[in-house]
Every structure is written in structure tokens, then in C-alpha cells.
Amino acid sequence: MKTFDSARRDLLKLSGLGLAVSLPSLSFAEAPKIGSSPLLFDVRTYGATGSGKVLDTKGINAAIEACAAAGGGTVYFPAGTYLTFSIRLKSLVHLYIAQGATILAADSPLPGQTTGELGGVYDAAEPNTSYDAYQDYGHNHWHNSLLWGENLHDLSITGPGLIYGKGLSFGVGPSRPPGAPQRTGFGPERPAGTPPVQRPPRGEYPMYQAEQPGVGNKAIALKNCRNVTFKDFSLLKGGHFGLLLTGVDNLIIDGLKIDTDRDGMDIDCCKNVRVSNCTVNSPWDDGICPKSSYALGYNRATENVTITNCYVTGTYMLGSVLDGTWQKFPADVRGVGRTGRIKCGTESNGGFKNITISNCVFEGCDGLALESEDGALCEDITITNITMRDIHSSPLFFRLGARLRGPKPETKVGTLQRILVSNIVSYNSSARLGSILSGIPDFPLRDIKIANFYSQHVGGAPQDQVGIVPPEKIESYPDPGMFGPMPSQGFFLRHIRNLEMSHVEIEPVAPDPRPSFSLLDVHRADFFAITAPTSPAAFHLDQVTDLRIAFSRATPDVTLASADNKTL
């Protein structure tokens, strides 16, 4: 059985076999011209070797500079392995990574070193600012990346080749001891003094300290750019973020294959975005993650976003999705996050507006999450045609909270409203949590509609979970496990105004003692054509007003003006 590391070595071997596909209409001996400027800039012409043994940083950047100086064009990476530190992107420059070509991130300096093994370093992170405290280190810096650009326009990276972030840090912070062999796993909050579960290794990679000067932290990072296209390439081990795109407008991401340790792509404070036809395997963090941080120094919404025809997973930890050697990690192994989901949040200062998520497949990961914790207006979102299998937490997690990580006193509780969810299948999910939709006292979720939702879970929760009242945790980091064990096997619904659910079925494999729907502080709720076990009772109602249930197999038709501690 191949390990994750050996799979990557195989991929790199392929890069050195000369398996490039030529561009049939282009000859480098007689490059077509616009005026007196060549359209194509082969990095080897500018000194890059593609050998994978010596640094090609200078040659690559020279080709990009020449292309930009000529008014734009294509910088071409023929088959080979291009070992490099930071590549500085430019406006009007298109990078084409040919079949058999690999852009390989050189090793960062280890703790105590000033340079990497080959005597180089990544570009320095930007100086700290007064608003660094509102995001983690990775979100606040772009220059310390394998490929980066700031204040650019009209740029693209395409082609069937590979970007391999082997020498990048994947986000370890200063609290970790120098030379620690592996980053610990993610998960719910632990009691004080409880040691974290050590995550299993995923290949023999050094642990680089993210904040150390000279260390590379992300594969691709852009700030304040417009008219950007990423298409068709593969990304292996993307560091802290495979793609960190902050303040990028008119953005197209299409046909990428990403296999990484942390977030696959973060789309932060961006407008007019299309993500399509992508595969993302990210076991220890999120797959596709719209965010709305304060990293630009002001609130800016992520809006007008389409995410469609994508596959996200967090369960493949041996081998790689990129060469077909991927294998699922055994279910009983501890310290495995299996996150891998689509999530709006957690950074959520500016908002998420006018977003559609459709025709996507989730496997062996967390479910879909919408989170407004730092004042975001999370509204006008449509989620449709989603299939989920082997979900490890909540198929749906909608959370309006009050962490309020942002400038005080202007950062106030935001909204989560006008959300439409339809045509969802969730098969074989964990019984531990169920779907969770929760606001906080005085700040409810509003205008939520869920239709045509089939949710099958393994069932068999212990009897002592019945009647649990989960803590509010108003200021806590939002994640499905934040509340602990849940009192419902289907949906936990708290602090909501104007809720409609129709043609929803809850099906446990093993009998489960919890009600399928637990409602707490819900006003004006309509349930139509609901199918759920009738033993136990399908509904538990507390502080519920203006409720209607009709045409349902779960319970007889009923209209209630109010209900407190009542089962149906």
C-alpha cells in the first residue's frame, strides 16, 4: 500500500519524464507577435532548468517580468520540475503549466535556520497591522507564499500541470515546540488541561513554523486583484491555504484538483465569483470556504458567488486523489478531522450575500455550514441538489453567534436570513449531532425554508441524550460539536423566526430514543409532509409559538398557538 508521501514521489517522477503536451498552434522557434512583443515566454529561455535539483526562482520571475514588460502574454512551463521559492505574479500575465510540469515549493527554513536547504527563503510576510488580531496569521499575510500577487488585474494560471507545496508550512503556530513532528488534530473544544489527540502522520514532511521569517505559508495568495482565472491544474499540499484570495473580484476557479492538509480554497471578501467542477480532498480543514474577514482593514462582503458541480471530501488520507492511489483512513483512528466541507465562515465580518451552492457531492466529511459570528450579514443564499454520504457531524450547520472578533464597539451581531435549501440527500451520517440551526437569544435566524430533504443516519444514540438542553455558547468558536451531545436525531432548531420545512424525512438505521425535531424558541413554523419515526414522538416543542403541522406521517395535523415542553 502506497503512503501519502510515496504517492507524491510518483507524481514528481511523472513530472520528470517529459510527458508534456505541446501547444499545437504555437512554435517557440517562431513565436507569434503582437507588434514587436512575443506572446510566449518559456521559463527555460530565462534560466529555469526544470531539473528539480537547482533553484529556478530567478528564471521563473525573470520570465514573468519580461512578459509583463512586453505588455502581457503567456509564461510557459514545459514538462519538468521547477524547484522554487516565491513567484511574483504580474498583471496581464498568464501562467500555463503544461502536462508533466510541476512547480515545486522548495523547503522552508526549519526552526533555528535562516534559509532553506538550498540557501533560499520565501518572500517576507507583510508587517503586522493593527487588525491582525481579528484573523489568524495565515489570513493576514500574502507575500510569504509560493505564488502571490497584490493590486493586480487580468491574470490567470491554467494548464494540466501540478503545483506541489512540499516545502510550505501548513499553519503551525508559535505555541508548538520547535521541530514538532506533526500538527495536532482539529475538533470540538476540550476541557482545560486535556491534551489534544495527536493526528496520524500523513507523509514524512518537516514541520515548518508558519511565523518564522523565510517560511512559505500558502500555495497561491492574492490580495486586492480583479479579473482572475484559475483553471485545470492540480494542487498537492497547499500549505495553510491552497488558494487564499482576499478582495479578488471577477474570479473564476474551474476544474481544479486539490489534495491538501488545510483549506483547499478560501474566497475572502470577494465579489463576482464562479467556482465549478473542482475536486477537493482536505481531511484536516475546509474544502471550499467563502470567508469575509477583516484582513483588508475594513468590512467587505463576499457576494455574488456560485459554487457548482464540485466534489469535497475529508476522508482520503492515504495516497492521493491526484494519481488515484487515495484510500480512506480507518474509521477507528483517533485524531482525524475529516473536515473537508463547504463552509461560509468562520471569519465573518463583512457578510455573505447572494450565493448559490448547487450540484455538489460531499463524502466522508463535515456537512455544509453557514456561520455569522463576527457581525456578518449572511443572507440570500440558495443551496440545492446536494448529495452527502458518511457525514461525520451535522449535514447542515447554520449558526448565528456573537464571537464578534473585530473592531470594538462597531462590531455587532449580524444576521442569518433568507436561506433556501432543497433537494438534499444525506446518507449514513453520524447520529451524534444531526442538523443544527441555531441563533442566540434576541438574535434569531429568519426566513429559513427547507424542502425535499432525506436524512438517513446510523441511529442508536444513548438514552441519556434525551432531554438535553445544549448550552448557548454565544461567544464560542462555531462548529457542529460546540454544543456537545444533541437532543434530536434529525434537526435541532433554536432561536428561529419564520421556518418552513416540507417533504423532509428522517430515517435512523438503528432505533434512536430522541425526537426527530427539537424546537426551542421558534416562532411561526410550518411543517408539511414530514416523515419520521413516531416512537419516540417526532417533535419536542419548547417556547414555540404559531406552529402548523400538516399532511405528515410523523404526527397528526395540528395547529398550536403556543407549546412549552410538549411532544407530538
DSSP 254-286: ES-EEE-SSEEEEEES-EEEEEES-EEE-TTS-
* Confidence (pLDDT) at 557: 97
Instruction: Write the pLDDT tens digit of every residue in 92-132.
Output: 999 999 999 999 999 999 998 999 888 999 999 998 788 88
Instruction: Write the pLDDT tens digit of every residue in 31-70.
Output: 434 344 568 999 999 999 999 999 999 999 999 999 999 9
Whether the ω angle into residue 511 lies within 30 degrees of 0, i.e. cis, is no
* Confidence (pLDDT) at 35: 40
Collapse the DSSP code of 124 into the 3-class scheme (helix H, G, I; strand E, B; otherwise coil) and give the result.
coil
Instruction: Write the pLDDT tens digit of every residue in 135-182.
Output: 988 999 999 999 999 999 999 999 999 999 999 998 754 443 334 333
Mean pLDDT of 317-337: 78
Q: What is the helix (H) or strand (E) element at residue 64, kind and residue range?
A: helix 57-69
Residues 6+ apart with CB under 8 A from 329: 200, 283, 315, 316, 317, 318, 336, 338
Q: Which of 39, 106, 37, 50 is nearest to 77 (CA)?
A: 50
550/546 Cα distance (integer angstroms): 13
* Confidence (pLDDT) at 198: 53
280/415 Cα distance (integer angstroms): 29
38/66 Cα distance (integer angstroms): 10
Residues 6+ apart with CB under 8 A from 215: 108, 109, 121, 122, 144, 168, 169, 208, 209
285/330 Cα distance (integer angstroms): 18
Whether the pLDDT of residue 8 is over 80: the answer is no
* Domains, the chain, ordered by start: 10-176+206-272+324-340 (2.160.20.10)
Whether the pLDDT of residue 78 is over 50: the answer is yes
Instruction: Write the pLDDT tens digit of every residue in 247-257.
Output: 999 999 999 99
111/524 Cα distance (integer angstroms): 58
Backbone φ, ψ for residue 36 (5° rounding): -110, 10
Cell numbers representing residue 134 in the block:
481579528
Mean pLDDT of 310-322: 89
Collapse the DSSP code of 360 into the 3-class scheme (helix H, G, I; strand E, B; otherwise coil) and give the result.
strand
Instruction: Write the pLDDT tens digit of every residue in 498-519.
Output: 999 999 999 999 999 999 999 9
Q: Contact at 8 Å (CB) between 494 and 521? A: yes
